């Protein structure tokens, strides 16, 4: 089994062409795919693997899978698959933007940035796309760090930022996309605030990462509030440069894999009137980067 690699139109990531995942993936191919994932950060495979089994087969090339802990998000019969859909009504929040109810809009973030151990990565497969919206974006935070000037690199070396769980966009401290929430808040477990390094070394390839997670970041630990906000906003303005981004316009059965430790991603959302179905697998993270700042409590209202 062989495959070819071509560059995406953006400067980040790549596309894999000619990969057959409908049968067993040989160990040498899995090894090559994993090395490519660590090198490029984002891998696109188009219109292949039209089954949960094929997605799981590909996903296991990159590490141990992490089952979804909440049963309402699990794909029936597949504990390692997450079902993301509004087919039977909204599971997540809906926001009104200029009179249009939008479902699934999630600003730039790193998965589990509000914990000490982020996911290693994930794969999304588009089962049913919408006609309007629904794109997903990825942003290479290693590339963003490399592009910083030397003075800024020296300024942020050794700093820690505090990150918090968000169940609502209303609580975002930076670059809030606006919109009025039209679904009621839910109840989630409480996550204590986490201090993570603002600059982190990738545990497998050693590349430095600008560790922001715009959805979750709160402040710079030990820094005066105004100075903290100014520094974070300056770094956000830098990292959102389009040259660090890839926005994927989905076709049914496309799959996109990303290294969660060196990228942020966002979901642009789609009108609630249209149905979207996505299957996701998550690659378990094993490397801790930060520390809790408070004791956990259960049942916090979000």
Q: pLDDT by residue (tens digit) across 92-140?
A: 899 999 999 999 999 999 999 999 999 999 999 999 999 999 999 999 9
> Is there a domain that residue 146 lies in?
yes
- Local confidence band at 301 (pLDDT 50, 70, 90 cut-offs): very low
Asked whether residue 87 is assigned to any structural domain, the reply reads yes
The count of structural domains within the chain is 1
> Is the residue at 298 inside a domain?
no
Cα–chain center distance at 34 = 18
Give the pTM.
0.93
Residue 154 tokens read as 């020296």
Does residue 85 sit within a domain? Answer: yes
Residue 237 pLDDT more than 70? yes
State the burial class of residue 76 (Cβ atoms within 10 Å of its Cβ: 0-12, 13-18, 19+): exposed
Which pLDDT does position 90 carry in this prediction? 87
Whether the Cβ atoms of residue 97 and residue 38 lie closer than 8 Å to each other:
no
- Give dist(CA 122, CA 102) in Å, integer: 24
73: which DSSP letter? G
Reply yes or no on whether the pLDDT at 68 is more than 80. no
CATH number at residue 249: 3.60.130.10
Answer yes or no: is 299 within a domain: no
**Domain contains 43:** yes
Domain with 80 in it: 4-292
Give the DSSP H or E segment for 104: strand 100-109
| Mean of pLDDT values over 240-247 | 98
The answer to whether position 154 is within a domain reads yes
- In a domain, residue 44? The reply is yes
């Amino acid at each position: 089994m062989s495959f070819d690699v071509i560059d995406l139109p953006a400067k980040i990531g790549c596309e894999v062409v000619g990969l057959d995942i409908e049968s067993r993936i040989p160990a040498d191919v899995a090894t090559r795919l994993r090395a490519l994932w660590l090198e490029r950060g984002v891998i696109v495979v188009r219109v292949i693997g039209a089954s949960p089994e094929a997605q799981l087969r590909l996903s296991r090339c990159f590490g141990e899978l992490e089952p979804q802990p909440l049963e309402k998000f699990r794909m029936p019969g597949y504990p390692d698959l997450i079902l993301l859909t509004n087919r039977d009504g909204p599971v997540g929040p809906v926001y009104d933007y200029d009179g249009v109810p939008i479902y699934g809009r999630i600003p730039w973030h790193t998965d589990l940035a509000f914990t000490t151990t982020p996911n290693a990565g994930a794969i999304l497969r588009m089962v049913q796309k919408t006609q309007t919206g629904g794109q997903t974006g990825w942003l290479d935070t290693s590339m963003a760090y490399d592009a910083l000037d030397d003075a800024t690199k020296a300024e942020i070396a050794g700093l820690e930022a505090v990150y918090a769980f968000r169940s609502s966009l209303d609580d975002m401290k930076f670059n809030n996309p606006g919109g009025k929430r039209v679904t009621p808040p839910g109840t989630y477990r409480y996550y204590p605030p986490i201090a993570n390094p603002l600059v982190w070394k990738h545990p497998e390839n050693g590349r430095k990462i600008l560790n922001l997670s715009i959805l979750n970041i709160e402040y710079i630990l030990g820094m005066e509030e105004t100075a903290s906000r100014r520094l974070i906003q300056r770094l956000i303005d830098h990292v959102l440069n389009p040259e660090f981004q890839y926005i994927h316009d989905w076709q049914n059965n496309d799959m996109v894999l990303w290294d969660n430790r060196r990228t942020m991603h966002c979901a642009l959302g789609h009108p609630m009137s249209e149905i979207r179905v996505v299957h996701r697998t998550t690659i378990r993270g094993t490397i801790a980067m930060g520390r809790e700042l408070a004791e956990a409590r259960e049942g916090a209202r979000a």
